Homo-oligomer: A and B are copies of this chain.
Amino acid sequence: MTDFDVVVIGAGLAGLTAARAVRAAGRDVVVLEARDRVAGRNLGGLLADGTPVEMGGQWIGRTQTEVLKLVDELGLETFPTYDDGAAVTLHNGVLTRYADESFGLSVEGATEVGRLQQELEALAGTVSLSSPWTSPAAAELDRQSIGEWLRSHTDDAEALAFWGAIVPALFSAEPSEMSLLHFLFYIKSGGMLDNLAATTGGAQELRVVGGAHRISERLAEELGDAVRLDSPVRKISHGDDGVRVDFEGGQVTARRVVVAIPPALAGRLVYEPALPAARDGLTQQMPMGSVIKVQVAYPTPFWRDAGLSGFGFSLDDGLGVTMDNSPPDGACGVLVGFFEGAHARTAARLSPQERRASAVATLVKLFGPEAGNPVEYAEQNWMEEEYTRGCYGGRLGAGVWTQYGAALAEPVGRIHWAGAETSDVWNGYMDGAVRSGHRAAAEALDRLEA
């Protein structure tokens, strides 16, 4: 006899969704969460005046149907990200304002970027989402980084600068740090590049009223006592009779376990017996991305008056991407910005004061002198978070998909793997997390009597 049917490790979106599905099937579930809060890579924050700001993942796109369905079921509401007016791009000191899809590039640059995008998306079309390592050209696509592919396919400095900034913006990693196969898998998983990069019509179209972390909070409310906070898991013992999970402060037994934390962190647990080498090897080489998210608040969203959307893209600065992140009623103005990839690691070495100065200086270049006088600045360095250790998610370097990919979601005995990294649709996004929770719960429920 075990304490529970299923124990879930991690009270992020994936884990809570899995737990909800287990409960819905009439089975006993418990969720062990290391932190004193739920929601994982979603994180609510408040400005001094009480305005909610989001310090973690926050946007939802309309094709992210599973998370949208969940939002609806939980009685939450979404509102559109502010996206009216022109965007700006800064490159080699030149600020370009634009209202089309050009990203402010020169005609030649935009043409070359478009050509490369077409070629990449044609390649992505050949990738299997359910098992990328079986794609026809998997070996060739996986032995090179997306950086190598770009360098060998264009000499255009502007195009290379663009890709060198857009890749970290999407992956919080540098082009050299990721296999081409992973890049292709990921963009296909989200419906190709425009869908990933766009606000309206793309992955950044909607926000959740009160913040995306409220999805997890509502799920946790439903689950009640089944969610145990402050319970970092240290060890999973597993065998024919079930699983035992040791955490700081106790242990529980169950018939199956769903591990809903990123692979890099899952690899740090103790398993008894130890995991197969293929699974262990995967967790050795799926590092988390690097990002520091900053929120800069102003009395008003002044850029709107200048006809600007707040979308800024700097190829020159540490803070590479900005967006309007003001509350729905526009009662004050908030610009959100990101230090990503190598820029995040560089910015992490600055003092908080220096980092703030760097971010604000970029905002001034993008949106004018008014950006120089914020009323508030908040930041979140996800690399420092012990129980996340980087955002947006885990990535696979050259060779890893083909050598270890099969171990990413394949259960090991009574251990099932969830998390945004394991989804074949909207991999790395909240929608992927929800899908992974459903998939892992279904696996565990199917095999409960096994």
Binding site for B on A (CB under 8 A): 142-145, 147-148, 152, 174, 176-177, 232, 234, 264, 267-268, 270, 274, 276-278, 280-281, 284-288, 290, 342, 345, 348, 381, 383-384, 386, 389-390, 397-399, 403-404
Given known A145-B148, A234-B234, A285-B287, contact A277–B398 (CB-CB < 8 A): no
| Given A148-B144, A177-B398; A264-B278 close (CB under 8 Å) | no
**Quick check: B348 and A278 within 8 Å, CB to CB?**
yes
Given contacts A145-B148, A285-B285, contact A384 B177 (CB under 8 A): no
Check if B177 sits within 8 Å of A281, measured CB to CB.
Answer: no
B residues near A399, Cβ cutoff 8 Å: 174, 176-177, 342
| Chain B residues in 8 Å Cβ range of A286 | 284
In contact, A389 and B284 (Cβ under 8 angstroms): yes
Q: Which of B145, B174, B284 contacts A288 (CB 8 A)?
A: B284
A177 neighbours in B (Cβ, 8 Å): 397-399
Residue of B nearest to A276 (CB): B384
Is the CB–CB distance between A383 and B174 below 8 Å?
Answer: no
Question: How far apart sit A37 and B390, CA to CA, in the bound complex (Å)?
Answer: 36
Q: A264–B285 Cα gap in the complex (Å)? A: 9
If the complex has contacts A176-B399, A398-B176, A398-B177, are A383 and B145 also in contact, measured as CB distance less than 8 A?
no
A142 CA to B174 CA in the complex, in Å? Answer: 12
The chain B residue sitting closest to A271, CB to CB, is B386
Q: Cβ of A383: which chain B residues have Cβ within 8 Å of it? A: 277, 280-281
Report B-chain residues with C-beta under 8 Å of the C-beta of A285.
Answer: 285, 287, 397
Cβ B148 vs Cβ A348 within 8 A: no
Query: Which residues of chain B come closer than 8 Å to A381, judged between CB atoms?
Result: 277
CA distance A267 to B265 in the complex (A): 10
Chain B residues whose C-beta falls within 8 Å of the C-beta of A274 in the assembled complex:
384, 386
List chain B residues, Cβ under 8 A from A404: 345
Q: Which chain B residue shows the least CB distance to A177?
A: B399
Residues on B with C-beta less than 8 A from A152 are 152
A281 contact from B176, B276, B290, B386, Cβ within 8 A: B290
| Assembled-state Cα–Cα distance A247/B142 (Å) | 40
